[in-house]
Amino acid sequence: MLGKMMYQPLLISSLMEHAARYHGDTVVISKEVDGQTSHSDWSTISNNSKRLAKALATLGLKPSERIATLAWNNRRHLEAWYAVSGSGMICHTINPRLFPEQLTFIINDAEDRALFFDVTFLPLIMAIKDQIKNVKHFICLGDRDDKVLAQLPETLFFDELLVEQDADFEWPELDETTASSLCYTSGTTGNPKGILYTHRSTVLHSMALCMPDALDLSARDVMLPVVPMFHVNAWGTPYAAALTGCSLVLPGPNLDGDSLVTLIDDYQVTAALGVPTIWQSLLAAANAKGSKLASMNRNVVGGAACPPSIIKTFKDDYNCDTLHAWGMTETSPIGTVNQIKSKHNALSSDEMEKLRQSQGRPPYGVKLRLMDTDNPLEPVAEDGESQGRLQIQGHWIINDYYTHKPDALTEDGWFDTGDIATIDGDGYLNIRDRSKDLIKSGGEWISSVELENIAVAHPQIKMAAAIAASHEKWGERPVLIVVKEPESNITEEQVLEYYDDKIASWQVPNKVVFVDNIQLNGAGKMVKKDLRDTHGDVLLHA
């Protein structure tokens, strides 16, 4: 027998309808590319997205067509998101920090029909325009600009499109499994792959994100998503913001520590999200400016392992809980978030510090398992010690890649993350490494993440990457690539001594290579593959 309750499809447009109806006057701040700050609210954003939805229809754009965006986190970008997905089209956010060849590949792979862009990215578009013939409309996120028209005469302007429309519009009632948005992986480990989210997966993910055991997001928050909207949809925060009706601060292009401290203090931000490198520079800036980041009670860190020193400094010096979270483009991205359980209230501060370093546990809606690295059919004990390949299932987890290649799932229906991890009896996850970054010394594995976390806690080390270097006797041995803090004259010997008593002596790197800079990819992660290509042989010629 079927139950007798209403069925309503879970649609992205319903998030915006809720925000407009019940939180219409809640403020949305946006830093624009021209340096201006705009003050808007959910009611205006809802109206503007409806007006834009009408404009897109008059351009002849149809449901299921891919509409790309090359833009920072700002108000018009947010309005375009809701207009596109709400109309049944697919919002394809693109990372502007990719190389032109990667941009061309992604735009052609997705067969994007229209492209929204911040004016700063015009040169990027001009460089690839001849290779992206499927794009029929270029829409600049701003008002009419003759300088833009001089270069790209067919450009349409967001503000002009809006002026021609009113907000008298009903969002279409779509099937909840309709595709809503498309993101490509940042390609750290190969060619970018497309992941196609649905309205249903997005709404369920947003609900999970807001739960107290995840981000604990509510209408009492002022949220600052530093993570870009092109990095796994800013981890779903623009949807969760509408769902809760919280206030939003969209940081625009300037993501340096100084600018972020100013935003946090000026707008009393309570929760912010970003990758570890963002927090590193924010802590340095807060220290230099003498800010206590007083309004911020939590920050979420993910995308790469967060060095424990960052978590500790936020807690000890700023009374801010750093929530370590783990996820991937393929997982929408939330897989786990670190929130404690009631039984942890009794922990000592050292024990609590240790617990907080874990990537956390899964919210309702996702399940994790560990499988043996050599025997993929053999489960691994979840005892907090045994390492295995991390696999995941859930309502917002990939089923199939956009182009159907490669197969996304194991034969029994799990997504293999490529991460090596432990899970304890309470479900707390510890990512040991990416399987491709683990260092195999003799028969033993060494976690590059662990070596890096220790190194960056040293006050004279700015960045550190541990890589596997070929070794005649052991197969691979760790080599540490280090960027010193300015003015530091730390030596190789001092770096290696810093590992004493922190890890077993056989895990200590064989060598330290000092470099001026370590390249970060578009998502702010260290490009370890390039480091391996450059330094992977240093121990052979020693």
Q: Which is closer to ligand ADP, CB of 192 or CB of 253?
A: 192
Among candidate residues 147, 95, 150, the one with its CA nearest the CA of residue 117: 95
Of 240 and 328, CB closest to ligand ADP: 328
DSSP alpha helix (H) spans, 172-255:
199-210, 232-235, 237-244
- The count of residues interacting with ligand ADP (CB under 6 A) is 23
Helix (H) or strand (E) holding 309, with range, is: helix 308-318
Cβ proximity to ligand ADP: between 14 and 322 the closer is: 322
List CB contacts of 347: < 8 A, sequence separation 6 or more: 355
Nearer to ligand ADP by Cβ, of 98 and 469: the residue is 98
* Binder among 44, 47, 165, 186 for ligand ADP (CB under 6 A): 186
Binder to ligand ADP among 86, 88, 187, 228 (CB under 6 A)? 187
* 338/321 Cα distance (integer angstroms): 10
Least distance to ligand ADP, CB of residue 299, Å = 13
Judge contact between 388 and 380, C-beta under 8 A.
Answer: yes
In angstroms, give the least distance from the CB of 107 to ligand ADP. Answer: 18
C-alpha 148/C-alpha 319 separation (Å) is 46
Site string for ligand ADP, 428-447 (x = CB under 6 A): ---x--x-------------
Contact between 243 and 202 (Cβ < 8 Å): no
Check binding of 523 to ligand ADP (CB under 6 A): yes
Stretch near ligand ADP under the rule CB under 6 A, chosen from 88-96, 156-164, 300-308, 455-463: 300-308
The H-or-E segment that residue 496 falls in is: helix 492-497
Residue positions counted in the chain: 542
**Residues 355 to 374: which contact ligand ADP by CB under 6 A?**
359
In a 3-state reduction of DSSP, which class is residue 267? helix
Q: How far is the CB of 421 from ligand ADP (least distance, A)?
A: 9
Nearest to ligand ADP of 313, 417 (CB atom) = 417
Among 69, 155, 329, 441, binds ligand ADP (CB under 6 A): 329
Candidates 139-147, 325-333, 347-355, 484-492; binding stretch for ligand ADP (CB under 6 A): 325-333
Among 328, 423, 463, 508, which residue sits at the site for ligand ADP (rule: CB under 6 A)?
Answer: 328
Question: What tokens appear for 276 in the block?
Answer: 């570890």
Residue 245 or residue 308: which is nearer to ligand ADP going by CB?
A: 308
Nearest distance from residue 103's CB to ligand ADP, in Å?
15
**Nearer of residues 185 and 206 to ligand ADP, judged by Cβ:** 185
User: Which range, of 111-119, 258-266, 323-331, 503-511, touches ligand ADP by CB under 6 A?
Assistant: 323-331
Per-residue contact track with ligand ADP, 302 to 321, x per CB under 6 A? xxxx----------------
User: For ligand ADP, which stretch binds (CB under 6 A), given 5-13, 79-87, 183-191, 283-291?
Assistant: 183-191
Which residue among 49, 178, 280, 417 contacts ligand ADP (CB under 6 A)?
417
Q: In the structure encoding, which two tokens stand for residue 60, read together?
A: 């002849």
Contact call for residue 197 and ligand ADP (CB under 6 A): no
Report how far residue 287's alpha carbon sits from residue 8's, in angstroms, rounded to the nearest whole number.
Answer: 49
By CB under 6 A, tell whether 324 contacts ligand ADP: yes
Please, which of residues 459-488 interact with ligand ADP by CB under 6 A? none
The least CB distance from residue 337 to ligand ADP, in Å, is: 10
- Residues known to be catalytic: 185, 330, 440, 445
Is 107 within 8 Å of 68 (Cβ atoms)?
A: yes
What HEC string does 385-450 produce? CCCEEEEEEECCCCCCCCCCCCCCECCCCCEEEEEEEEECCCCCEEEEEECCCCEEECCEEECHHH
Tell me phi and psi for residue 278, to 5 degrees: -60, -45
Contact by Cβ (8 Å): 125, 100: no
In this complex, which beta carbon is closest to ligand ADP, that of residue 46 or of residue 186?
186
Long-range pairs, 445-449, Cβ under 8 A, ≥24: 445/387, 445/420, 446/478, 446/507, 448/478, 448/528, 449/305
- Return d(Cα 232, Cα 332) in angstroms, integer: 6
473 three-class SS: coil
Burial of 366 (0-12, 13-18, 19+ CB in 10 A): buried
**Residues 39 to 68: which contact ligand ADP by CB under 6 A?**
none
Minimum Å distance from CB 193 to ligand ADP? Answer: 8
Binding site for ligand ADP (CB under 6 A): 185-189, 302-305, 324-329, 359, 417-419, 431, 434, 523, 525
